[in-house]
Amino acid sequence: MINPFFKNKGPFNIDHLLKLSDIANIENFKKIKILDIKDLATATNKDISFYHSNKYHSFAIKTKAAFCITSKNIAKSLPKDCKKIIVDNVLIATAKITKTFYPNSVTDDFDMDVKDINKSSYKKNVKFGKNVLIGKNVKIGKNCLIGHNTILESNVVIGSDCSIGSNVIIRNSIIHNNVSILDGCVIGKKGFGFFPNKEINIRYPHIGIVIINDHAEIGCGSTIDRGSMSNTVIGKNSYLDNQIHIAHNNKIGDNCIIAGQVGFAGSSTLGNNVMIGGQAGISGHLKIGNNVQIGGGSGVIKNIPDNTRVMGYPAKDLKSFIKDNR
């Protein structure tokens, strides 16, 4: 799939990419062209990828990437035909190479191409509020409502029978059918990914998008960040209450119910039929199983298996929590 939101400036010779990242090209791969940078799961034999944590071992052993940026202690997990590029800091090297392929993925400048709507260019049964701005190549399905002061930036896709509230900003996103996005939401901005540095913090590029599937509802004032390397996804028939934050790369399953002020750090996966009480916090890079219930105010810092109920900080089995707090 070609990303319509970020233009790939590749291909690049591998030696050029390594030099930009201050990596010594020990094996002299200068004649090899690299088409793109992708995550372990989607990379092909013409791409470069990265592997920075054993949490992604199951993807590392199966990757088809031609090259992989990694560290010495975990490089052995990669396939033999994947050429290992050993670095001290995998994520910083990955960020530099990603920025080379996608130079506009670090900043979030406003879309200069948005204009007042030309209603004649959309279906007659799409209704617009006042002061709506729409960018180039935006697609809107039939029977949609777009609220006052809302901005749909270039290449955004809105499916049929959707309701987009007032004062909403949507960029880098594909919204499927029968989706409701309430007032004041911001969808598709860059995530909070950077590397602290005493002189100037290094921003991590975000080349993923946001995908919101059929019959989902996003409550007022919620924010959903686009993915860094993969996409941020909201599953079918999942309802998010007001003032919820979904960070980059999160995958929310189908039929999930998430109460107000819940916050997700990046790159966690939520199964189907999950219920989360208000003001809970979900740490990054976790796997929450199917049919899980998480009590309000809980702090989740480790994986949770299917059909489990937890509460507290750190979140633990609900029966144990009740017993300990009698």
So which residues are the catalytic ones? 248
* Interatomic CA distance for residues 206 and 178, integer angstroms: 27
Residues ≥6 apart with Cβ < 8 Å to 157? 138, 139, 173, 174, 175
How is residue 299 annotated by DSSP?
A: E
Q: How many CA atoms lie within 13 A of 172 on its CB side?
A: 31
| Under 8 Å between Cβ of 251 and 270 | yes
**Short-list 155, 149, 153, 190, CA closest to 168:** 149
Cis before 79 (ω within 30)? no
* Interatomic CA distance for residues 285 and 268, integer angstroms: 4
Q: What's the chain's Rg over C-alpha atoms?
A: 21
**272 phi, psi to nearest 5 deg:** -85, 155
